[in-house]
Amino acid sequence: AQSVAQPEDQVNVAEGNPLTVKCTYSVSGNPYLFWYVQYPNRGLQFLLKYITGDNLVKGSYGFEAEFNKSQTSFHLKKPSALVSDSALYFCAVREKTNAGKSTFGDGTTLTVKP
Amino acid sequence: GAGVSQSPSNKVTEKGKDVELRCDPISGHTALYWYRQSLGQGLEFLIYFQGNSAPDKSGLPSDRFSAERTGGSVSTLTIQRTQQEDSAVYLCASSPFGGNEKLFFGSGTQLSVL
């Protein structure tokens, strides 16, 4: 079975400060890992993914995430937050040997204040 | 169309009625997914179709829920004898092959059961 935990329901940061949205996962084998973002009244959009190789993955809108196998984590980061980054963020995992369903976390609401 | 299309965008029904939700995936995408997003909750996996393979129905919450995919393209999610706890946003997503590919989401159908 595979699972994802996003331990924080809400993250608040000031504009210009770095942000981190946490994600840990559990899978039987090696994972594919994804981050998606949901802006108000809009559908989910892909941000970035980890497949293999370099543990630091760069994605859309200046976001990046670091895969840490020993800690089974895939935290989302951005060096300098923007007010427009305020949205609902979802982490997702898919087992490489079962390239079917993706399991999503419960989501983290990011609020960036001016 | 260019993206995943879902219809209707909103559906209000009475308890006990049947509803059908439709998803048109991106042309050429062989993988199709249904998820449910309840208020304040994460994405709950419902069902996954991949090409001509038998679908993964492991996420369907009860036998009132069923889904089919005709001709490897359009999918219909049917909920029979709706209950108030079925109220949620039902999201459809597609991807080219599954595997390590990202998901492309539709805007969802907001289902309200009165």
Interface contact A104-B102, CB threshold 8 A: no
Predicted confidence at residue A98, as pLDDT, reads 66
What CATH number is given to the structural domain containing B38? 2.60.40.10
B82 vs chain A: nearest CA distance in angstroms?
A: 24
More confident residue, A99 or B89: B89
Domain count, chain A: 1
Residue A80 lies inside a defined structural domain of this protein: yes
Predicted confidence at residue B13, as pLDDT, reads 97
User: What is the rounded CA–CA span in Å between residue B79 and residue A90?
Assistant: 26
Residue B75 has pLDDT above 60, yes or no: yes
Predicted confidence at residue B70, as pLDDT, reads 85
Domain count, chain B: 1
Domain with A53, as residue range(s), is 3-106
Predicted confidence at residue B1, as pLDDT, reads 53
What CATH number is given to the structural domain containing A22? 2.60.40.10
State whether residue B98 is helix, strand or coil: coil
Distances in Å between the Cα of B35 and the Cα atoms of A45, A52, A104, B41 are 15, 26, 10, 12
Residue B67 has pLDDT above 70, yes or no: yes
Chain A, residues 74-113, CB within 8 A of chain B, namely: 90, 92, 94, 96, 99-107
Residue B114 lies inside a defined structural domain of this protein: no
Residue A112 lies inside a defined structural domain of this protein: no
Residues 6+ apart with CB under 8 A from A70: none
Residue B88 lies inside a defined structural domain of this protein: yes
Band (A65; pLDDT cuts 50, 70, 90): very high
Domain with B53, as residue range(s), is 5-109
pLDDT in tens, B76-101: 999 999 999 999 999 999 998 767 88
Residue A41 lies inside a defined structural domain of this protein: yes
